[in-house]
Structure 1
Amino acid sequence: MSTMKRWHKLGQLYVPRGTHPKLRSHAANPLPVHLNDDVYRIFFSGRDEQNRSSVGAVDVDIERRVIVAEHEAPFLEHGPAGSFYEAGISIGNCYSVGGQRYMLFMGWQNPPDGHWRGDIGRIRVTPALELELDTATPLMAADGVDPISLSYPWVERGENGGFLMWYGSTMNWDAGNGEMLHVLKSAVSEDGHIWQRRGVSVPYQIGLAQAFSRPTVIREGNGYQMWFSYRSGLGESYRIGYAMSDNGYDWELRLQEAGIDVSTSGWDSGMIEYPFVFAHRGRWHMLYNGNGFGKTGFGLAVHD
């Protein structure tokens, strides 16, 4: 079930112009929703001057690789002071329950007397593709299993009904080499609303892959494939990694088979991260960010 193929980069798709005060910079965590034909509304997390992220969007024809419409105003802003998403919204993916489409996100907090941290929240996506906060409390918050910080959820419908989730969890802020240990765990739900956490899902290794973020999962045939961003802990910036699984719970790390790396120069030469893999016209596409955690916008790659 290994990929053993390369992603072919097609270049930058979009860099925000920064005309709205809540979307001054960045287009991180691109999330495509199909509109019609070859056009997708690609939601992203943009930032204001205080680095608080809100959800913006741009409509893109991904075959012609042209901007069809740029939405100047955010679709959903970060929360008020004291909310679990007061410091920002980092979006994951969408899934539907009973005809209602939801978008998951990491809600950031940045307390003045502590370390930044996150919980997992949920947004309702209306039929007109407007975004509304589902509830003012997290869908999944820190608890005894995940006591420090949660991040970047991804949900897929299970093969035999129900739902699978993969999400990030901080085990400690410093694993002994100055880098956090932030791993990918799994959770299950029968109804898409109440989740049972199952623990570490993707293996990690200190000094090789120990700071994970933004998993993107494709179920194909008899198994699952996952791309994600990760840091080794040895000082490198984000890279995109790969893992595979037969059942969606137990994964095998195959970093060398990601099929994509930084470029020798340009907008994604120092960092690549926050992938989103989806199928269009029978071909796999990957949206991803480059240098500066999305400051240089997002680009597109297709699978050979």
Structure 2
Amino acid sequence: MKHIAVVIAFITSILGLSFGWEKYPANPVIDLGEEGSWNDVHVSDPAVIFDGEVYHMWFAGDNGSQRGIGYARSVDGVHWEMYPGNPVLTDGIGDVWDGEWVSQPTVVRHGDLYHMWYTGYNGEHTRIGYAVSADGIHWSKSSANPVLDLGPAGSWDSEGVSNPTVIVKDELFHMWYAGYDGVKVRIGYAISSDGIHWNKHSSNPVLEPGPDGEWDDAGVSCPSVIYAGEAYRMWYAGYDGDNLRIGYATSGDGITWSKRSYNPVLDLGPAGSWDGSGVSGPSVVLNGVTYHMWYTGYDGARSRIGYAFHEVPGDTSGDGTISAYDAGLILQFVVGLIEEFPADRIGAPEGVRAWPSYAVAIPRLSAKPGGRIRVPLYIEDATGLYAGGFRLRYDPSVLKAVEATPSSLLNGSLWRVNLEMLGEIRFAFATPTPLRGGGKLLEITFEVTPDAEGLASPVTIIAVNLNNSVPVRIENGLITVSPSVTRLLPNYPNPFNPETWIPFKLAEKAHVTIRIYDLSGRLVRTLDLGEREAGVYLSKDKAAFWDGRDMSGRRVASGVYFCRLQAGDQTDLRPITVLK
């Protein structure tokens, strides 16, 4: 039973509990240089890589008149040895794109070279440059610099590009960077085959500031991205107009990002401390099952570099993440299908094979204001599944999740669901024996907001992990809130001449006809709208249109007329006025 309790705790943890970052108690790990040195005013913006034995850091140093990039190395990430010839990269000479300063490096080791992208400033705009080195100390700037330039006038990155972070995946360079439009900073994405020629993504920016009142509503910047556990993971700086803090987001493709609801993940230090006025510029490295972060701390006058760490608990698969798959591994251990950890795959009983991909779907449904609706999550065929985790998102102004019930397909499984996150549902399961067959996996009960008539909420699967991220085809759902009654709505304009639009709402799907009568009861015009789904037909492209003519095509006289709606066996009557 102890093992089962551990599994339940694991499943609970992946549904939204943040395993917090622990700051190193002896921070900062890199302090200001001696008075008169190249970095005696600020040290900031670390970029760290690990080669299996040594941590290498490139960082920005500032003495009040010049800013450059220095280098240090460490065997433990805490005690750093400075290169005596710092800085290793300085600003350009003369009136050039990086003639004022260079800062904010990111470095990757690829092939036989170190590759650095960095921010350069010419006194007016920031741009991103590129340099290479055989030893990480002696750098050669590219003649093609800047390799990432400003966007078109008026665009989101027209006034500055900076803060690059780069990873290599599938033999391509992937960059996330900050763009500035003169008002706010946002994060964009670009891709390159050589590190020099970059294609900005058409969906930019890929990470926006938060809504008003949030901790990052004034801007997002300083991304640090790694790829681990079949996901892109970004730590970034968020600004609220007063202070910078560090948040976390994940993505399946590096383009569509989901911020964590418990952000920020690294907050300010105590008032008056070395990082009491701001934390930003993260650089994150995953080593084993521990995430290591070096970051910029600001005390209101000076910047220094600190260290924090975050250990991933329960990582039985050894992939650096915790998921429902790890819970499944523990269950397999309990029943004797595997014998030690880390285990890279779940053992399957003879004769049971997992599919190479799975398909999940949420249907499109209709609900009533103030009522409840049950929304199923289907899986086409779950055969071979041992573990799974889902994140679903919906519009909390339309719906509220109140209950979730697993189907008989999960009989004998351990499962947990989290409905406490605004607009988001998290669900995970694990089982010692594989699932068989398909159908309904889970049913979620939503309460519908009473004033949501005519609105709709997507129910979107924003993340899914089945058997440690086998491919999954997703069909998302939509809940449309249909009216509780069938009724004509006020036409517009009214009075009118010569034409008007007649809106209406339907409680049920019906054949819709609108007939117009004069005061004597004589039929003037019939508008046959055909079959219409339940909903509100308010806009000009949905409402009924009357051009003010009778059935013979003649303009009708001024006066009061009556519209009669016929929708199935439901009727409604409303006066309208023609005024010439």
Q: Match of 2:249?
A: 243
For 2:68, the aligned partner's letter is S
Q: Match of 2:190?
A: 187
| Distance in structure 1 (CA, Å) of the matches to 2:99 and 2:261 | 34
| Distance in structure 1 (CA, Å) of the matches to 2:140 and 2:301 | 24
**Residues 84 and 216 (structure 1), Cα distance of their counterparts in 2 relative to 1, 3 Å cut:** same
Q: Match of 2:143?
A: 135
Match of 1:156 among 167, 178, 187: 167
Tell me if 1:42 matches 2:42: no
Q: Secondary structure at the match of 2:114?
A: strand
Q: Match of 1:261?
A: 267
Higher RCO (Cα < 8 Å, 6 or more apart): 1
Q: Secondary structure at the match of 2:80?
A: strand
**Residues 27 and 184 (structure 1), Cα distance of their counterparts in 2 relative to 1, 3 Å cut:** same
Would you say the 8 A contact 1:203–1:251 is kept in 2?
Answer: no
Match of 1:204 among 205, 209, 215: 209
Would you say the 8 A contact 1:142–1:148 is kept in 2?
Answer: yes
Q: Compute the displacement of 1:258 (Å).
A: 4.0
For 1:43, the aligned partner's letter is W
Match of 2:80 among 46, 61, 67: 67
| Distance in structure 1 (CA, Å) of the matches to 2:36 and 2:139 | 18
Task: Summarize deviations over 1:147-176 as a string: whole Å, max 9, x none.
Answer: 211111111223x442321111112x2xxx
Q: Match of 2:430?
A: none
Q: Match of 2:277?
A: 270
Would you say the 8 A contact 1:83–1:136 is kept in 2?
Answer: no
Q: Compute the displacement of 1:69 (Å).
A: 4.1
| Distance in structure 1 (CA, Å) of the matches to 2:279 and 2:230 | 29
For 2:269, the aligned partner's letter is S
Q: Match of 2:95?
A: 82
Q: Compute the displacement of 1:93 (Å).
A: 1.5
Q: Compute the displacement of 1:294 (Å).
A: 9.1
Q: Match of 1:176?
A: none
Task: Summarize deviations over 1:60-112 as a string: whole Å, max 9, x none.
Answer: 3326x3233453531111222311112211233223555332111111122xx
Q: Compute the displacement of 1:197 (Å).
A: 0.6
For 2:57, the aligned partner's letter is I
Q: Match of 1:24?
A: 40
Would you say the 8 A contact 2:144–2:196 is kept in 1?
Answer: no
Stretches (4+) displaced over 6 A: none
| Distance in structure 1 (CA, Å) of the matches to 2:116 and 2:223 | 15
Q: Match of 2:308?
A: 301
List runs of 5+ in structure 1 lacking aligned partners: 111-115, 174-179
Q: Secondary structure at the match of 1:141?
A: coil
Q: Match of 2:30?
A: 14
Q: Secondary structure at the match of 1:71?
A: coil
| Distance in structure 2 (CA, Å) of the matches to 1:118 and 1:77 | 15
Task: Summarize deviations over 1:259-299 as a string: whole Å, max 9, x none.
Answer: 22111241111110100000235421000011158934211
Q: How does 1:88-127 map to 2 (within 5 A)?
A: 88-96=101-109, 98-110=111-123, 116-127=124-135
Q: Match of 2:408?
A: none
Query: What CA RMSD, in Å, does the superposition of the two structures yield over aligned residues?
Result: 2.5
Tell me if 1:283 matches 2:290: yes
TM-score of the superposed pair, with normalisation by structure 2:
0.46
**Residues 59 and 192 (structure 1), Cα distance of their counterparts in 2 relative to 1, 3 Å cut:** closer
| Distance in structure 1 (CA, Å) of the matches to 2:280 and 2:194 | 31
TM-score of the superposed pair, with normalisation by structure 1:
0.84
| Distance in structure 2 (CA, Å) of the matches to 1:185 and 1:293 | 28
For 1:167, the aligned partner's letter is Y
Would you say the 8 A contact 1:92–1:214 is kept in 2?
Answer: no
| Distance in structure 2 (CA, Å) of the matches to 1:15 and 1:239 | 20
Q: Secondary structure at the match of 1:129?
A: coil
Would you say the 8 A contact 1:95–1:103 is kept in 2?
Answer: yes
| Distance in structure 1 (CA, Å) of the matches to 2:206 and 2:83 | 38
Q: Match of 2:222?
A: 214
Task: Summarize deviations over 1:201-252 as a string: whole Å, max 9, x none.
Answer: 11323533232221001211221110111212xx322111111111111111
Match of 1:230 among 238, 248, 263: 238
Q: Percent identity?
A: 22
Give the number of equivalent residue pairs. Answer: 286
Would you say the 8 A contact 1:7–1:260 is kept in 2?
Answer: yes
Which region of structure 1 is more displaced relative to structure 2, 81-90 or 126-135? Answer: 126-135
| Distance in structure 1 (CA, Å) of the matches to 2:288 and 2:36 | 34
Kindly name which structure, 1 or 2, has the bigger radius of gyration based on alpha carbons: 2
**Residues 218 and 36 (structure 1), Cα distance of their counterparts in 2 relative to 1, 3 Å cut:** closer
For 1:47, the aligned partner's letter is D
| Distance in structure 1 (CA, Å) of the matches to 2:308 and 2:71 | 19
Query: Larger strand proportion, structure 1 or 2?
Result: 1
Q: Compute the displacement of 1:182 (Å).
A: 0.9
| Distance in structure 2 (CA, Å) of the matches to 1:61 and 1:20 | 28
Q: Match of 2:18?
A: 4
Would you say the 8 A contact 1:152–1:215 is kept in 2?
Answer: yes
Would you say the 8 A contact 1:237–1:271 is kept in 2?
Answer: yes
Which region of structure 1 is more displaced relative to structure 2, 54-63 or 263-272? Answer: 54-63
Q: Secondary structure at the match of 1:147?
A: coil
